[in-house]
Amino acid sequence: MDEHRLKCFVAVYEEGSVSAAAVRLHMTQPPLSILLRKLEDELQVGLFDRGGRRLVPTATGELFYLRAKSMLANLQTIRRELREVEQGARGLVHIGCSTAASLFIVPCIMEDLAAQGLEIMLHVHEGELGYMLQQLRERSLDLTICRSQHVAPDLESQVIMEEPLFVALPPGHPLAGRERLRLADLRDERFLLHRSPLGTGISDMVLRACRNAGFAPNVVYWGGETLPMLLMAQRGLGIAFAPQSFAQLGVQGLPALVPVADAEFSTHLNMIWPRQQALSPIASRVKELIVKRFGPGGDAARAAP
């Protein structure tokens, strides 16, 4: 049973005669009558009573009409959904994200997807960078957004969000009231730092700046995420370093973030994807949205003060 036969049956049912249905279908009457008979033979049921001038549907024909209309509608839906997937308007995209990307990038992209009426589902995966890069190479992930800079011949990378790096000071710290501080002022502090198992990241920049300032920091904690370190700084366990965007969270209990005057502290989020394998249309659409919102000259950059 194919779509053409279903359309022919529906036309005969709705027109009430083969001749009227033939006109609607731009066919001649004999082939349509033969097709209708073959359909009944294939189904081994009678779909119409042929006693009068009009074809009267049997109870079986009534049921088959409902099912045929449903199948035709489903076929149309399938075609539309396939076109949307092909055009990048519908589907599932797997994204590996650092916590910062989940906090500041993904919500904006969800807004853009909703605003454009795109039925794209984001499946966000969080984890160690090495794990996410492996998943990217195995095509279990389409894109990865991370803080560390990672260079590899099989991967493409683009900066999508650059911002200053601030110092988080415990409550009541003597430097907490300053608008800016000098790196040398932190010489005797306990440092809570990000580890960078792959590539370069925040800790590399902080350690290099401390060396340039003439001291080696007292590192008491290495961690993978910024938010836990901010909470530890709030408890007086040390000083932490966080991108400026974390000041926008508005979470009660987070420490104040203070800029450093004598060090070029800036950090960025990078989007990474496979170099040698083309992204799917829907993954490409999501990538384009991220670049449009956060890339150089993007909406977020234009809105920045």
pLDDT computed for residue 137 by the predictor: 86
Q: Residue 138 is encoded by which pair of tokens?
A: 């195995």
Task: Return the biggest CA–CA distance within the chain.
Answer: 104
Residue matched to tokens 């009409």: 65
Check whether 298 has a pLDDT greater than 70. Answer: no
Select from 71, 86, 101 the last residue of a domain: 86
Same domain, 51 and 100: no
Mean predicted lDDT score pLDDT of the chain: 86
pLDDT computed for residue 81 by the predictor: 65
Same domain, 117 and 77: no
Question: What are the tens digits of pLDDT across the range 151-181?
Answer: 788 889 999 888 888 999 988 888 888 888 9
For 103, what's the count of Cα atoms within 13 Å in the CB-facing half-sphere? 18
DSSP H or E run through 295: none
Q: What is the CATH number of the domain that holds 236?
A: 3.40.190.290
Q: What is the CATH number of the domain that holds 72?
A: 1.10.10.10
Same domain, 238 and 257: yes
Q: Virtual CA dihedral for 84, 85, 89, 92, nearest 10 degrees? A: 150
- Considering only 70-74, 88-92, 207-211, which range has the smallest mean pLDDT? 88-92
- Considering only 156-165, 193-202, 217-226, 278-287, which range has the smallest mean pLDDT? 193-202
Question: In whole angstroms, what is the distance from residue 255 CA to residue 232 CA?
Answer: 9
120 or 295, which is more confident? 120
Same domain, 63 and 161: no
Question: What are the tens digits of pLDDT across the range 89-137?
Answer: 678 899 999 888 988 999 999 999 999 888 888 999 988 888 888 888 8
pLDDT computed for residue 273 by the predictor: 92
- Where in the sequence is the domain holding 31, given as residue range(s)? 3-86
- Percentage with pLDDT > 90 across the chain: 40
Q: What's the length of the chain?
A: 305
Q: Where are the alpha helices (DSSP H) in 26-169?
A: 29-43, 59-86, 99-104, 106-115, 129-137
Select from 34, 66, 86 the last residue of a domain: 86
Check whether 38 has a pLDDT greater than 90. Answer: yes
Question: What are the tens digits of pLDDT across the range 269-282?
Answer: 899 998 877 888 88
Label residue 97 left, alpha or beta by phi (over 0 means left) and psi (-120 to 50 means alpha): beta
Same domain, 112 and 139: yes
pLDDT computed for residue 30 by the predictor: 92
Number of domains into which the chain is organized: 2
Question: What are the tens digits of pLDDT across the range 47-70?
Answer: 998 876 778 999 999 999 999 988
Question: In whole angstroms, what is the distance from residue 220 CA to residue 211 CA?
Answer: 17
269 or 87, which is more confident? 269
Q: At what angle do helices 18-25 and 3-15 cross, to 10 degrees?
A: 130
